Structure 1
Amino acid sequence: MPTIKKTKTLLFSAILTSSTLLSQAHNVSEGYVKPTDPLVVQNLEQWQDLKFGLFMHWGTYSQWGIVESWSLCPEDESWTQRKPEHGTSYDEYVRNYENLQTTFNPKHFDPQKWADAVKKAGMKYVVFTTKHHDGFAMFDTKQSDYKITSSKTPFSKNPKADVAKEIFNTFRKEGFKIGAYFSKPDWHSDDYWWPYFPPKDRNVNYDPKKYPERWNRFKKFTFNQLDEITSHYGKIDILWLDGGWVRPFHTIDPNIEWQRTIKVEQDIDMDKIGTMARKNQPGIIIVDRTVSGKWENYVTPEQSVPEKALSIPWESCITMGDSFSYVPNDHYKSSQKIIETLVKIISGGGNYLMNIAPGPDGDYDAVVYDRLKEISAWMEKNQSAVFATRSSAPYHDGSFYYTRSKDGHTLNIFHLDEKSEYHTPAELTFFVPEAFKPKSLKVLGISSKVQWKKNGSTIQVRLPADRSKLQYATVIQIRQ
Structure 2
Amino acid sequence: MKNSYSKCFTLLLCMSLSVAHAQRNDILKESTAYEWPADVAVKQKLETWQDKKFGMIIHWGLYAVPGIIESWSICSEDWIERDSTIKYEDYKKWYWGQSEKFNPTKFNPEQWAKAGKDAGMKYLVFTTKHHDGFAMFDTKQSDFSIAKGPFSTNARKDVAKYVFDAFRKENFMIGAYFSKPDWHSQYYWWDKYATANRNNNYDIRKYPWRWNMFKNYTQNQIAELMTNYGSIDILWLDGGWVRPLASVNQEVLSWGAPIPEWSQDIDMPKIATMARKAQPGLIMVDRTVHGQFENYQTPEQKIPEKQLDYPWESCMTLGGAWGFVPNDQYKSAGEVVHKLVEIVAKGGSLLLGIGPKADGTLPDDVVNKLEEIGKWTSKNGVAIYGTRITKNYHDGQNWFTQSKDGKTIYGISLLGQNPVKEIVWQGSVPKKGTLITLLSNNQKLKWTLKDGKIHFDLPETDEKIALTFSFTPENNP
User: When the two structures are superposed, what TM-score results if normalisation uses the length of structure 1?
Assistant: 0.90
SS of structure 1 residue aligned to 2:389: strand
- Cα deviation, 1:213-232, whole Å, max 9, x if unaligned, reads 00000000000000000000
Alignment correspondent of 2:186: 190
Match status 1:476 vs 2:469: yes
Match status 1:9 vs 2:20: yes
1:47-58 maps to which residues of 2 (within 5 A)? Answer: 47-58=49-60
More deviation in 376-385 or 184-193?
376-385
Find the aligned partners of 1:83 and 1:324 in 2 and give their Cα distance. 25
Cα 1:221/1:436, change in 2 over 3 Å:
farther
Q: Contact 1:26 / 1:299 at 8 angstroms: preserved in 2?
A: no
Cα 1:273/1:438, change in 2 over 3 Å:
farther
More deviation in 32-41 or 447-456?
447-456
SS of structure 1 residue aligned to 2:73: helix
Q: Contact 1:11 / 1:322 at 8 angstroms: preserved in 2?
A: no
Letter in 2 for 1:203: N
The alignment of Structure 1 onto Structure 2 pairs a total of residues equal to 453
- Cα deviation, 1:173-217, whole Å, max 9, x if unaligned, reads 211000000000000000101111111100011111111000000
Q: CA deviation at 1:477?
A: 1.1
Q: Contact 2:124 / 2:173 at 8 angstroms: preserved in 1?
A: yes
- Cα deviation, 1:343-376, whole Å, max 9, x if unaligned, reads 1100100000000100111111111111111111
User: When the two structures are superposed, what TM-score results if normalisation uses the length of structure 2?
Assistant: 0.91
Match status 1:462 vs 2:463: no
Give me the CA root mean square deviation: 2.1
Alignment correspondent of 2:89: 91
Letter in 1 for 2:459: P
Q: Of the candidates 376, 388, 412, which is equivalent to residue 414 of structure 1? A: 412
Find the aligned partners of 2:128 and 2:325 in 1 and give their Cα distance. 19
Find the aligned partners of 1:65 and 1:436 in 2 and give their Cα distance. 54
Alignment correspondent of 2:228: 232
Match status 1:42 vs 2:44: yes
Alignment correspondent of 2:35: 33
Runs of 4+ in 1 over 6 A off after TM superposition: none
Alignment correspondent of 2:82: 81
Find the aligned partners of 1:7 and 1:312 in 2 and give their Cα distance. 35
Q: Contact 1:452 / 1:461 at 8 angstroms: preserved in 2?
A: yes
Cα 1:285/1:448, change in 2 over 3 Å:
closer
Find the aligned partners of 1:438 and 1:298 in 2 and give their Cα distance. 40
Letter in 2 for 1:474: L
Match status 1:163 vs 2:164: no
Q: CA deviation at 1:435?
A: 8.9
Q: CA deviation at 1:319?
A: 0.2
Match status 1:128 vs 2:132: no
Find the aligned partners of 2:419 and 2:308 in 1 and give their Cα distance. 29
Find the aligned partners of 2:431 and 2:309 in 1 and give their Cα distance. 21
Alignment correspondent of 1:117: 115
Cα 1:340/1:128, change in 2 over 3 Å:
same
Q: CA deviation at 1:254?
A: 3.5
Cα 1:194/1:341, change in 2 over 3 Å:
same
Cα 1:136/1:99, change in 2 over 3 Å:
same
Q: Contact 2:35 / 2:295 at 8 angstroms: preserved in 1?
A: yes
Q: CA deviation at 1:390?
A: 1.0
Find the aligned partners of 2:433 and 2:401 in 1 and give their Cα distance. 15
Cα 1:121/1:83, change in 2 over 3 Å:
farther
Alignment correspondent of 1:257: 254
Q: Contact 1:449 / 1:464 at 8 angstroms: preserved in 2?
A: no
More deviation in 114-123 or 443-452?
443-452
SS of structure 2 residue aligned to 1:74: coil
Alignment correspondent of 2:9: none
Alignment correspondent of 2:170: 174
Q: Of the candidates 63, 66, 74, which is equivalent to residue 64 of structure 1? A: 66
Q: Contact 2:181 / 2:239 at 8 angstroms: preserved in 1?
A: yes
1:34-433 maps to which residues of 2 (within 5 A)? Answer: 34-76=36-78, 78-82=79-83, 88-150=86-148, 153-255=149-251, 256-258=253-255, 261-263=258-260, 264-417=262-415, 420-421=416-417, 423-433=418-428
Q: Of the candidates 441, 445, 450, which is equivalent to residue 445 of structure 2? A: 450
Cα 1:285/1:438, change in 2 over 3 Å:
farther
Find the aligned partners of 1:436 and 1:9 in 2 and give their Cα distance. 49
Q: Contact 2:435 / 2:444 at 8 angstroms: preserved in 1?
A: no
SS of structure 2 residue aligned to 1:240: strand
Unaligned runs of 5+ in 1: 1-5, 14-23
Find the aligned partners of 1:294 and 1:397 in 2 and give their Cα distance. 35
Find the aligned partners of 1:204 and 1:447 in 2 and give their Cα distance. 58
Find the aligned partners of 1:156 and 1:83 in 2 and give their Cα distance. 35
Q: Contact 1:424 / 1:470 at 8 angstroms: preserved in 2?
A: no
Find the aligned partners of 2:432 and 2:178 in 1 and give their Cα distance. 47
Q: CA deviation at 1:455?
A: 4.4
Q: CA deviation at 1:43?
A: 0.3
Q: CA deviation at 1:162?
A: 1.0
Find the aligned partners of 2:299 and 2:308 in 1 and give their Cα distance. 11
Cα 1:230/1:436, change in 2 over 3 Å:
farther
Find the aligned partners of 1:414 and 1:353 in 2 and give their Cα distance. 20
Find the aligned partners of 2:53 and 2:219 in 1 and give their Cα distance. 30
